[in-house]
């Protein structure tokens, strides 16, 4: 049984008053301080849409009414399609989905205890692995192929995704030309340009820089993505004490402004652009200013971000599920579990980075995808909550069984045992004797076996004629 | 087609459906005949009892056992299948002697005097029926003299004694002594089970076997049975 798109929202770190105060402060910043916009295209688009622009300072501000009007043009629901319809996901409301994230540079190998540079081959293999992990619903391209020339990276990353899984592919792009090639590739895969807009099998991420900067190249890309009609993710990554106030409330304000500015820019360019409000907000290690990926505060910030997205009626891209551990140890389990759980219970629509990432998001690990898939299965069961009705209360059955009886042979038990309880694929529930008899394996060793079985199994490649069309039309793909 | 009925019996044992009211594993099975109805139908259409047992019941329980081993089935699934086989055996019982098919054996089970716990004993009963044994369940808190009386009357090949409490497990020893005094001890193989007992304890009180859990109990009975048959 696969649990996805279930309604979260039982966990609310922000009160309604807190949400209102964060909103007020964010709108005040958008109105009075504004953003530095280093893209001419973005700046002129904002100006045309009613922004007050100071060309010398490259600063754009928006009256709050105008800002809210533009935010209101963004669809409250965005459908991200899989190449196979069963993988379609419907972002919006408080429905919860999970996915991978990146972009990591290294692979950690638990059997040798070493890390190495990630290659194209890793990207393909990780795609094939995630394709078969049911609790990971969307595939965000997780690694950077170090051996490829920079200008070939975009097409090769997206091709590795599209050619190895039927789940939706989301990713960042590095060059404007690469982005155009990627969209063309997706059009071929979808069948036509119209078919891609109808069923977007890809979506593209373009970050804003906290605090309050729309970058030159990324600003241009947001404009281009908005014009293309492809779903766009607008995340911001404020870091407590470094690029935002150290307080969580102050961080939330910066994240809200920066992400809203991305949404506003997309609506200024092309009203109705499917734009996803995104957060990568987290803490900073104030001893050496490192980015922290596994803090409980990251869980709180992204859960609160979900509440802000719900407040604005925007679909939400959250960040959770990572660890700063260098190995697959207790830290890697509890950090991933806690941040994923907080986001999911808050009803974060799409928890990105939810599997595979460790060591400040620099590194991924095949085995960790399998371990996190298990965590996410448990998390989604928690999101599902407890169904209470006559059938589940089971009065009639209790009456029939009576004092001292048992429920092992009841039909009711068989009817509900599979769907009421999460059935782990990795957790060991054998007695010590049985566990020892089966080799006394740790969770990562069992995860390793799952990785091998999946990589030795069936692939979800593109249909041959589509594949050869992509290879002949799109230049630079290393097959 | 008679073969079709046997196939359906097999499928429904795997699904764990005793009657047409049962849900089974797959959706939309309620209302279709279960094992009880199918076995009646098979007898009426003249299919041999041996075929029903061997191809319909025994073969399907082997598949159920594999599914359990592969962690696809849980204990309630296994018990539902065993219950279906038990129901089939009950229907087939009057036809056994006529058709020359010998039941695998008869076993009396009881939770001993002073002990009210019967979950374990009930599970063992279902599983033994599922394995093709005739099971007479005397219930729980059974007086030692009633166990002796039942062994005398029913002449079972096996006696299964269960106890959950350390304070009642010694009653198992008393029961074995009482059977010895009535000159019945060598007529019946005694298997004990329950949380506080062990292989060592079974040996120390002169029992023939110990079942660590329901499935183990069945395999112990099967092994003792094979040993006895081998001597015949």
Place of tokens 């029992």: B207
Q: Work out the percent of chain B whose per-residue pLDDT is above 70.
A: 98
The per-residue pLDDT for B27 is 83
CA–CA dist A57, A68 (Å, integer) = 24
Q: How distant is the Cα of A466 from the closest Cα of chain B, in angstroms?
A: 37
The per-residue pLDDT for A324 is 97
Residues of chain A with C-beta less than 8 angstroms from the C-beta of B83: 409
The per-residue pLDDT for B99 is 79
Residue of A nearest to B140 (CA): A404
Tell me the per-residue pLDDT of B12-65, one tens digit each, with 9 for 90 and over: 999 999 999 998 888 888 999 999 999 999 999 999 998 998 889 988 988 998
The per-residue pLDDT for A140 is 98
Which of B20, B24, B30, B74 has the most A C-beta neighbours within 10 Å, making it the best mutation to test the interface with A? B74
SS (H, E, C) chain A: CCCCCEECCCCCCCCHHHHHHHHHHHHHHHHHCCEEECCHHHHHHHHHCCCEEECCCCEEECCHHHHHHHHHHCCCCEEECCCCHHHCEEECCCEEEEECCCCECEEEECCCCEEEECCHHHHHHHHHHHHCCCCCCEEECCECCCCCCHHHHHHHHHHHHHCCCCCCEEEECCCHHHHHHHHHHHHHHHCCHHHHHHCCCEEEECCEECCCEECHHHHHHHHHHHHHCCCEEEEECCEECCCECCCHHHHHHHHHHHHHHHHHHHHHHCCCCCEEEEECCECEECCCCEECCCCHHHHHHHHHHHHHHHHHCCCEEEECCCCCCCCCCHHHHHHHHHHHHHHHHCCCCEEECCCCEECCCCEECHHHHHHHHHHHHHHHHHHHCCCCCHHHHCHHHHHHHCCCCCCCCCHHHHHHHHHHCCCCCCCCCCCHHHHHHCCCCCHHHHHHHHHHHHHCCCCCCCCHHHHHHHHHHCCCCCC
CA–CA dist A127, A121 (Å, integer) = 10
**Both A398 and A283 in a single domain?**
no
**Both A329 and A401 in a single domain?**
no
Which of A1, A405, A412, A414 has the most B C-beta neighbours within 10 Å, making it the best mutation to test the interface with B? A414
The per-residue pLDDT for B231 is 67
Confirm whether A172 is domain-assigned: yes
Query: Residue B80 and residue A415: Cβ atoms within 8 Å?
Result: no
Residues of chain B with C-beta less than 8 angstroms from the C-beta of A397: none
Q: Judge whether residue A431 has pLDDT over 90.
A: no
The per-residue pLDDT for A91 is 98
The per-residue pLDDT for A188 is 98
Residues of chain B with C-beta less than 8 angstroms from the C-beta of A408: 75-76, 79, 119, 123
Q: What is the mean pLDDT of residues A429-436?
A: 90
Q: What 3-state class would DSSP assign to B212? A: coil
Tell me the per-residue pLDDT of A181-199, one tens digit each, with 9 for 90 and over: 999 999 999 999 999 999 9
Query: Residue B83 and residue A417: Cβ atoms within 8 Å?
Result: no
**ipTM of the prediction:** 0.78
Query: How many structural domains compose chain A?
Result: 2
The per-residue pLDDT for A434 is 87
**Both A196 and A79 in a single domain?**
yes
Query: Residue B80 and residue A414: Cβ atoms within 8 Å?
Result: yes
**Both A189 and A131 in a single domain?**
yes
Q: What 3-state class would DSSP assign to B99? A: helix
**Both A368 and A405 in a single domain?**
no
The per-residue pLDDT for B58 is 86
The per-residue pLDDT for B130 is 83
Q: How distant is the Cα of A125 from the closest Cα of chain B, in angstroms?
A: 27
* Domain end residue (candidates: A339, A369, A384): A384
Q: What is the mean pLDDT of residues A53-73?
A: 97
CATH for A315: 3.20.20.480
Tell me the per-residue pLDDT of A292-309, one tens digit each, with 9 for 90 and over: 999 999 999 999 999 999
Q: How many CA atoms are closer than 13 Å to the CA of A170, on its beta-carbon side?
A: 26
| Token pair for A246 | 């150290």
Adjacency order of strands within the sheet including B158-162: B134-137, B106-111, B158-162, B189-193, B209-211
The per-residue pLDDT for B3 is 59
Q: How distant is the Cα of A347 from the closest Cα of chain B, in angstroms?
A: 31
Q: Judge whether residue B100 has pLDDT over 80.
A: no
Confirm whether A247 is domain-assigned: yes
How many Cβ pairs closer than 8 A exist between chain A and B? 28
Between helix B119-130 and helix B75-99 the angle, nearest 10°, is 50
The per-residue pLDDT for A35 is 97
**In whole numbers, what is the pLDDT of chain A averaged over residues?**
97
**Both A357 and A337 in a single domain?**
yes
Domain boundaries, chain B: 2-99, 106-231
CATH fold of B2-99 reads: 1.10.1240
Query: Residue A408 and residue B16: Cβ atoms within 8 Å?
Result: no
Q: What is the mean pLDDT of residues B170-187?
A: 93
Give the β-pairing of A35-37 and A59-61.
Answer: antiparallel
**Both A154 and A251 in a single domain?**
yes
* Domain end residue (candidates: A337, A365, A384): A384
**Both A298 and A336 in a single domain?**
yes
- pTM of structure: 0.89
**Both A349 and A409 in a single domain?**
no
**Both A245 and A172 in a single domain?**
yes
Q: Judge whether residue B2 has pLDDT over 70.
A: no
**Both A410 and A290 in a single domain?**
no
Which range has the worst mean pLDDT, A127-136, A187-196, A398-407? A398-407
Tell me the per-residue pLDDT of A1-56, one tens digit each, with 9 for 90 and over: 899 999 999 999 999 999 999 999 999 999 999 999 999 999 999 999 999 999 99
**Both A333 and A407 in a single domain?**
no
CA–CA dist A129, B119 (Å, integer) = 43
The whole domain housing A395 covers: 390-420
Adjacency order of strands within the sheet including A35-37: A52-54, A59-61, A35-37, A213-214
Query: Residue A413 and residue B116: Cβ atoms within 8 Å?
Result: no
The per-residue pLDDT for B119 is 81
Classify domain B106-231 by CATH number.
3.40.50.280
CA–CA dist A40, A60 (Å, integer) = 11
Q: Judge whether residue B137 has pLDDT over 60.
A: yes
pLDDT tier, B118 (very low <50, low <70, confident <90, very high otherwise): confident
Q: What 3-state class would DSSP assign to B161? A: strand
Determine contact, residues A224/A237, Cβ cutoff 8 Å.
Answer: no
Confirm whether A31 is domain-assigned: no
């Amino acid at each position: 049984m696969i649990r996805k798109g279930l309604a979260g929202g039982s966990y609310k770190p922000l009160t309604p008053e807190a949400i209102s105060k964060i909103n007020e402060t964010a709108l005040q910043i958008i109105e009075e301080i504004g953003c530095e916009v280093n893209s001419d295209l973005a700046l002129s688009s904002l100006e045309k849409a009613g922004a007050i622009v100071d060309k010398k300072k490259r600063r754009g501000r928006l009256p709050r009414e105008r800002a809210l009007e533009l935010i209101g043009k963004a669809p409250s629901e965005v459908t991200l399609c899989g190449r196979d319809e069963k993988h379609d996901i419907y972002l919006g409301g408080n429905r919860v989905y999970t996915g991978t994230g990146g972009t990591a540079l290294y692979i950690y190998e638990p059997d040798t205890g070493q890390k190495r540079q990630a290659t194209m081959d890793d990207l393909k293999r990780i795609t094939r692995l995630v394709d078969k992990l049911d609790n990971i619903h969307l595939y965000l391209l997780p690694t950077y192929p170090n051996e490829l020339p920079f200008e070939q990276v975009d097409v090769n990353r997206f091709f590795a995704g599209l050619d190895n899984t039927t789940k939706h592919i989301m990713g960042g792009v590095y060059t404007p030309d690469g982005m155009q090639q990627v969209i063309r590739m997706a059009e071929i895969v979808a069948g036509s340009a119209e078919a891609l807009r109808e069923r977007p099998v890809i979506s593209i991420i373009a970050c804003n820089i906290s605090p309050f900067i729309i970058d030159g190249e990324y600003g241009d890309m947001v404009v281009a993505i908005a014009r293309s009609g492809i779903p766009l993710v607008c995340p911001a990554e404020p870091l407590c004490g470094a690029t935002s106030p150290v307080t969580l409330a102050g961080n939330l304000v910066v994240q809200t402004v920066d992400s809203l500015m991305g949404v506003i820019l997309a609506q200024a360019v092309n009203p109705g652009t499917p734009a996803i409000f995104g957060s990568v907000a987290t803490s900073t290690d104030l001893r050496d200013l490192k980015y922290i990926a596994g803090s409980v505060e990251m869980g709180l910030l992204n859960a609160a971000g979900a509440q802000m997205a719900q407040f604005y009626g925007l679909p939400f891209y959250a960040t959770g599920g990572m660890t700063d551990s260098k190995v697959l140890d207790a830290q890697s389990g509890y950090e991933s579990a806690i941040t994923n759980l907080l986001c999911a219970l808050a009803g974060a629509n799409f928890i990105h980075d939810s599997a595979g990432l460790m060591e400040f998001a620099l590194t991924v690990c095949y085995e960790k995808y399998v371990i996190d898939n298990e965590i996410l299965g448990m998390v989604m069961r928690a999101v599902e909550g407890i169904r209470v009705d006559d059938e589940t209360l089971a009065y009639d059955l209790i009456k029939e069984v009576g004092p001292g009886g048992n429920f092992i042979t009841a039909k009711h038990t068989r009817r509900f045992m599979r769907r009421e309880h999460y059935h782990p694929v990795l957790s060991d529930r054998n007695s010590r004797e049985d566990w020892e008899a089966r080799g006394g394996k740790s969770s990562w060793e069992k995860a390793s076996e799952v990785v091998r079985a999946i990589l030795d199994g069936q692939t979800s490649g593109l249909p041959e004629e589509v594949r050869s069309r992509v290879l002949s039309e799109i230049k630079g793909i290393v097959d | 087609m008679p073969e079709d009925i046997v196939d359906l019996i097999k499928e429904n044992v795997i699904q764990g459906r005793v009657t047409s009211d049962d849900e089974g594993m797959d959706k939309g099975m309620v209302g279709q005949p279960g094992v009880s109805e199918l076995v009646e139908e098979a007898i009426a259409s003249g299919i041999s009892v041996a075929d029903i047992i061997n191809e319909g019941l025994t073969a399907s329980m082997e598949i159920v056992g594999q599914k359990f081993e592969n962690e696809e089935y849980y204990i309630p699934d296994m018990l539902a299948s065993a219950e279906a086989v038990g129901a089939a055996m009950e229907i087939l019982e009057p036809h056994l002697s006529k058709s020359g098919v010998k039941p695998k054996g008869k076993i009396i089970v009881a939770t001993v005097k002073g002990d009210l716990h019967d979950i374990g004993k009930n599970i063992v009963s279902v599983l033994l029926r599922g394995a093709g044994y005739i099971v007479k369940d005397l219930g729980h808190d059974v007086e030692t003299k009633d166990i002796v009386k039942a062994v005398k009357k029913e002449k079972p090949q096996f006696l299964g004694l269960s106890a959950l409490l350390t304070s009642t497990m010694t009653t198992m020893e008393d029961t074995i002594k009482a059977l010895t005094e009535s000159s019945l001890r060598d007529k019946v193989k005694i298997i004990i089970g329950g949380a506080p007992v062990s292989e060592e304890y079974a040996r120390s009180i002169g029992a023939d076997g110990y079942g660590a859990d329901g499935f183990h109990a069945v395999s112990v009975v099967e092994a003792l049975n094979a040993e006895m048959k081998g001597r015949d």
